[in-house]
Each structure stands twice: as structure tokens, then as C-alpha cells.
Amino acid sequence: MLQETYKPNYIAVEGVIGVGKTSFSGMLAERLSAELLNEEVFENPFLVDFYRNRKRYAFQCQLFFLLSRFQQQQQLMVRDLFAQRIVADYLFAKDAVFASINLSERELALYDRIAPILSRDIPRPDLAIYLQASTPVLMQRIRKRNFTFEKPIDPDYVDMLNKAYDYYFFNYSETPLLVVKTDDIDFVNNAVHFDDLIEQIGKPIAGKKYYVPVGDLALQ
């Protein structure tokens, strides 16, 4: 459990597609008896088309996610974040990572006029968690979960996204940040691995902390 003296009320979990952030967010919310705020991925009507033709549908897909996340964050602002714990499976500020990769120069220029206006009053989490994994591991997890709309995803795109995420969070300083390397652990199916992460989250973090668990060998 989290230490009694350290209870972040608003935790945002991030990571590249396939890393397991949605699964981890759900498990974390349940463990902490917190409300879960899920990104509306499957509600995006442009997502399937995007993975089939990223260049053509990137802007529509990006704009839907931006507005959807904004509406969710607006709802958070009318709540008492100090009275209710919340775990979100995304960080609003990270939206710009996808935009920088997928949008054309003209589309990005328009996006850069819209996004700052929407993000002006967005609440910041007390703690951000970045689940990190190598591109081969991400591809393995993507194939394993076998979502139909993800079948066209190619390793080059995931690798490009992975490098962009790493760069973003290497330079991230808006909130306390816990970076967890997940290549050698399975927090979904191994309770010991999950409990180990909960223990790390329960330790106060000032600035940025990197945690590299080494799986079962370190936990025996």
C-alpha cells in the first residue's frame, strides 16, 4: 500500500501503445480505491482509418483525441481532486507527441494554435508514471492482444513513437515522474511484480525517478 504520509490524489499513467498502461491503470485504481479515467480510444471513429492510412487521417484522429481528452479534463476541474482519488491512463500534455509525429507541417501549425488554448487550465497530476519498454517487446504485446484495428501497425512506426516518448519524458519536468522499465516484468499476470510497482509508487518522488525491475530473479 502507499505510505500514509504520501498519497497522490491524481495519478496519470503513460506509455507507448502496447506497453500495458490501460491494464496497469485499471489495476492501480482498484488497488487504491480510486476512480479510473480511461482515454476514449475505441470511441474514436477515425482510429481504424488512421492505422490504415496515417497520413490521410492523422489530423482527424488527433483532433478527436484532443477534444475528447479536453472534455474529460474539464470534468475533473469541477470535482474536488483532494477528496477523490483519480487514476488516468493518459497524460494530457503528451498529446503533442503524437501530433509532432503524425501531422503535416500545415496540420501541425493549426494544431499548435488549438492545443495551447485547451490546455491552459488543465489540472496537473500529483504523479506521472511512464511505463517504458523496448520496441520488440511492445510489438510482441501488441500482437498478443490481437486488436483488429492494430494489425496494420508496423515496427518502424512503433519505434519512432517509442523514441519520441523517451525524448518527451527525458525532458519532462511538469510534475513528479516515475519511469518504469517493464521489459522483464508482467504486472498483469504476476502479483509479485504488481506489488513491487505499488511499493515504488508509495515512495515520495521529487523530480524524476528511474526504476528498472529485473523480474523474478530480483524478487525471489
What's the pLDDT tens digit per position in 58-116? Answer: 999 999 999 999 988 887 766 655 557 899 999 988 888 989 999 999 999 999 999 99
Residue 112 a catalytic site member: no
What's the pLDDT tens digit per position in 23-58? Answer: 999 999 999 999 899 888 888 899 889 888 989 999
- DSSP string covering 18-85: TS-HHHHHHHHHHHHT-EEE----TT-TTHHHHHH-HHHHHHHHHHHHHHHHHHHHHHHHTS-TTTS-
What domains can you pick out in the chain, each with its CATH number?
Answer: 10-219 (3.40.50.300)
Extract the C-alpha cell encoding 167.
525524448
Out of 89, 95, 126, 196, pick the active-site residue. 89
